[in-house]
Amino acid sequence: MMKKQIIVLILFLCSPIFASPALAGPYTGDGIDGFVGGTVNPIFQGWATGYLNYNPAPGVSASWQTPERTLGPVTGNNADIASLGDLSQAQIDAWLADPSNSPGPGEITLTFDAPITDGLGYDFAVFENGFGSGGGLFAELGYVDVSSDGLNFARFDSVSLTPGPVGGYGTIDPTDVHNLAGKHPNAYGTSIGTGFDLANLLTHDLVLAGLVDLNDINFVRIVDVPGSGDFLDAQGNPIYDAWVTWGSGGVDLEAVGVINAAVTQTPVPGAVWLLGSGVLALAGIRQRKPKKGE
């Protein structure tokens, strides 16, 4: 039996289950519905189609080490995931002391058929398989990084206002969390992804240096955050979530959906192109080769 099924049983015995998370914090409005009217939300122009790497932390059960499950449209199935794994306190301490000689937090880097671009509002959404319980959210959070070239990654500035540890079966108020994957439920009949706006990265050093192009994002990397409080948000606050978890521990990634994608030019058949060119020439209109992005 997978980890989250066990947790559901424990939470069922201890508290009202699947209640809507309480909204007491400042960070609301970043949830994107996975489905509308029983079908995948048409707001999504595309989905992850491949992965550059998949490096789970030690201890992930083999049955949850299938990165291909993160590709394609959201399903809302909490078992249709790849796990990034969690770290024990001893593993955290070893990695913080010497990252080059110890396994660190699990991560996965996804690729896309068309680049993600900085458009109006949220540009992509990340679907983890958290679930609501007792007015909170059983959540396993992750940092989100983006890259144009697969080498230089800009990380979204995250915020976590959870006041203290919540334990292995604990829940958080998701509205106390900003710019971290996993802050929305996507299991047991509810499917909501966390939206990310590339405009948040306009002043990032790598963007200003031209090493990350916000209109040419080809890679999205999710890095698990062990929720012990040893890992920090962009403001220096400790990040807490359900910790320690096991089996399918840490971030359980289900899908990444693209809302704003680069427009690709549709090839025009040669005969049609010649006909069109002739008509335009007769009309005295000069053809101009479209520039990238037009």
pLDDT score for 134: 85
Residue 170, number of CB atoms within 10 A of its CB: 19
| Distances 95 to 85, 90, 102, 190, 260 between C-alpha atoms, Å | 15, 9, 5, 35, 36
pLDDT score for 18: 38
**CB of 174 closer than 8 Å to CB of 184:** yes
Q: Would you write out the chain's pLDDT as a tens digit for each of its 294 residues?
A: 344 444 444 343 333 333 444 468 999 999 999 999 999 999 999 999 999 999 999 999 999 999 999 999 999 999 999 999 999 999 999 999 999 999 999 999 999 999 999 999 999 999 999 999 888 999 999 999 999 999 999 999 999 999 999 999 899 999 999 999 999 999 999 999 999 999 999 999 999 999 999 999 999 999 999 999 999 999 999 999 999 998 899 999 999 999 999 975 444 443 333 333 333 333 333 333 343 344
Residue 194, number of CB atoms within 10 A of its CB: 27
Amino acid (1-letter code) at residue 274: L
pLDDT score for 169: 85
Amino acid (1-letter code) at residue 294: E
Element housing 4 (H / E):
helix 3-14
**CB of 128 closer than 8 Å to CB of 180:** no
Q: Where are the beta strands (DSSP E) in the chain?
A: 31-33, 35-36, 39-40, 46-47, 50-55, 82-83, 107-116, 124-128, 131-133, 136-138, 142-147, 153-155, 159-160, 177-178, 186-187, 190-196, 217-224, 228-232, 238-240, 252-258
pLDDT score for 264: 53
